[in-house]
Amino acid sequence: MSVLSRLIGLFISVVGATLIFMTMNDPQSFIWLFVGLLIISIGFNLLTARGQPKGHKPPPPTITEIRCSNTACDFKEIRDFKKGDFVLKPLETKCPKCGSLTAIEGVYIVKEEEPKAKSNF
């Protein structure tokens, strides 16, 4: 499949280059130059593709918010999500501030595309 996409990429690049060469004497060649370069860049993208599906990204990072169970204490910690984490899960670790037990306050998926204003209320 990747060989085929490379061949298509090569073909598209050649078409783009041919378009530029063929329209060089055209008074509006700058438009064709632009179009040709665009086509070549698309072709080169296909050519240099590493066989990964387009738009493939690593899974978004997930964070876990830990909070002290003592309501009078404002201790809060954010750490990487670990397998088995769930909201309101009581934790073994004690609050470094007051020594009370801590629990998971929330689990969030960090979206890079659209940073959403997170409300604490």
Residues that bind Zn ion (CB under 5 A): 68, 70, 73, 75, 95, 97-98, 100
Closer to Zn ion by CB, 29 or 100: give it.
100
Task: Compute the least distance from the CB of residue 101 to Zn ion, in Å.
Answer: 9
Nearest to 65 by CA among 116, 115, 109, 104: 104
Task: Compute the least distance from the CB of residue 81 to Zn ion, in Å.
Answer: 22
Task: Compute the least distance from the CB of residue 64 to Zn ion, in Å.
Answer: 17
Task: Compute the least distance from the CB of residue 72 to Zn ion, in Å.
Answer: 8
Q: Please, what's the b/e burial string for 41-76 (b: 16 or more CB within 10 A of its CB; e: otherwise)?
A: ebbeebbeeeeeeeeeeeeeeeebbbbbeeeeeebe
The three-state secondary structure class of 96 is: coil
Closer to Zn ion by CB, 24 or 98: give it.
98
Give yes or no for a contact between 77 and 37, defined as CB atoms under 8 angstroms apart.
Answer: no
Closer to Zn ion by CB, 48 or 71: give it.
71
